[in-house]
Amino acid sequence: AQSVTQLDSQVPVFEEAPVELRCNYSSSVSVYLFWYVQYPNQGLQLLLKYLSGSTLVKGINGFEAEFNKSQTSFHLRKPSVHISDTAEYFCAVSKAAGNKLTFGGGTRVLVKP
């Protein structure tokens, strides 16, 4: 079975500063990795995903993530955040060609002016 750990439950950050959200996973098989964002009172929106190929994945809204197989990590980064990036971010994993997502506990990002 897969599991996902998001090491930070909350990350306060000032506007225009960089942010990194950490995600580690465990799995005995090949996996696909995802980052989702949830704005208040909304569902989850896909930011980016890693299926195969280049380990640096670029997503929407200026976010990117890097897959590191040796460290079993998939950290999310943005070089300069906006107030509108205030949201909760979820890392998720599925078996390659599997049919269900397992989520981490989420990281709440609060961007301060």
Partner 1 sequence: ETGVTQTPRHLVMGMTNKKSLKCEQHLGHNAMYWYKQSAKKPLELMFVYNFKEQTENNSVPSRFSPECPNSSHLFLHLHTLQPEDSALYLCASRHDEAGYTFGSGTRLTVV
Q: How far apart are CA 8 and CA 112, in angstroms?
A: 17
Q: Quick one: which segment of 11-19, 55-63, 67-75, 98-106 binds partner 1 (CB under 8 A)?
A: 98-106
Using CB under 8 A as the binding rule, whether residue 67 contacts partner 1 is answered as: no
- Site residues (CB under 8 A) for partner 1, limited to 19-58: 32, 34, 36, 41-46, 49, 51
Q: Quote the least distance from Cβ 9 to partner 1, whole Å.
A: 9
For partner 1, give the closer residue by CB, 43 or 113: 43
Q: How far apart are CA 70 and CA 87, in angstroms?
A: 29
Taking a C-beta distance cutoff of 8 angstroms, is the pair 38, 45 a contact? yes
For residue 99, what are the contacts with CB-CB under 8 A and spacing of at least 6? none
Q: Quote the least distance from Cβ 20 to partner 1, whole Å.
A: 20
Cite the beta strand spans of the chain per DSSP E: 3-6, 10-14, 19-21, 23-26, 31-38, 44-50, 56-58, 64-68, 73-78, 87-95, 102-103, 107-112
For partner 1, give the closer residue by CB, 13 or 44: 44
Using CB under 8 A as the binding rule, whether residue 102 contacts partner 1 is answered as: yes
Residues that bind partner 1 (CB under 8 A): 4, 32, 34, 36, 41-46, 49, 51, 90, 97, 99-106
